[in-house]
Amino acid sequence: MRVAGIDLDFSEFDEFTARLEKLPAETVKNVRTAVEVSARAVKDDARSRASKIGGHARHYPRSIHYTMLGSKDAITAEIGPEDMGGRQGPLGPLLEDGTPTSAPHPHLKPALQDAKEDFEHGLEKAIGDGLEAL
């Protein structure tokens, strides 16, 4: 392929994409497991960090949950506080980032950052196992 006078070779990418499309259903299940295990770890770590905020936000940590979402093309997890009947979920952004009059109490962002390496390893293993099966 030639774009703006530059020759681009996508043959390796095309081959990899074709192989990914043939991955067995078990691989999709393993990828979902990797996403869910990481989401649970982030939730647990964020709850632990948030429990140290104390005082006015003592119920807030219990509002932190994760929800698995999926479609034909994507597996995702949403992690964060939910407004569950007065459990202080709406305080999440205010606690995480602070306000002009309140210091920040980072808990979700650091938990996500700390889980990054394990998440990447889990995905690599799930996809690698699937590619070996081809």
**Tokens 């774009």 — which residue?**
3
Q: How confident is the model at residue 85 (pLDDT cuts 50, 70, 90)?
A: low
Which residues fall within 8 angstroms of residue 84, CB to CB, at 6 or more apart? 63, 65
- Determine the Cα–Cα distance for residues 64 and 43; give it in Å rounded to an integer: 6
How high is the mean pLDDT of the chain?
Answer: 84
- Answer whether residue 11 is part of any domain: no
Residue 13: pLDDT over 70? no
The range of the structural domain enclosing residue 51 comes to: 25-133
Whether 119 is covered by a domain: the verdict is yes
**Is residue 81 one of the residues assigned to a domain?**
yes
Mean of pLDDT values over 30-49? 94
Identify whether 32 is part of a domain.
yes
Q: How many domains does the chain have?
A: 1
Is 62 contained in some domain?
A: yes
3-state secondary structure of 14: helix
Rounded-to-integer distance, Cα 103 and Cα 57, Å: 13
Non-local (6+) Cβ contacts of 97 within 8 A are 104
Tokens found for residue 7 = 């020759």
Radius of gyration of the chain (CA): 20
- pLDDT category of residue 45 using cuts at 50, 70 and 90: very high
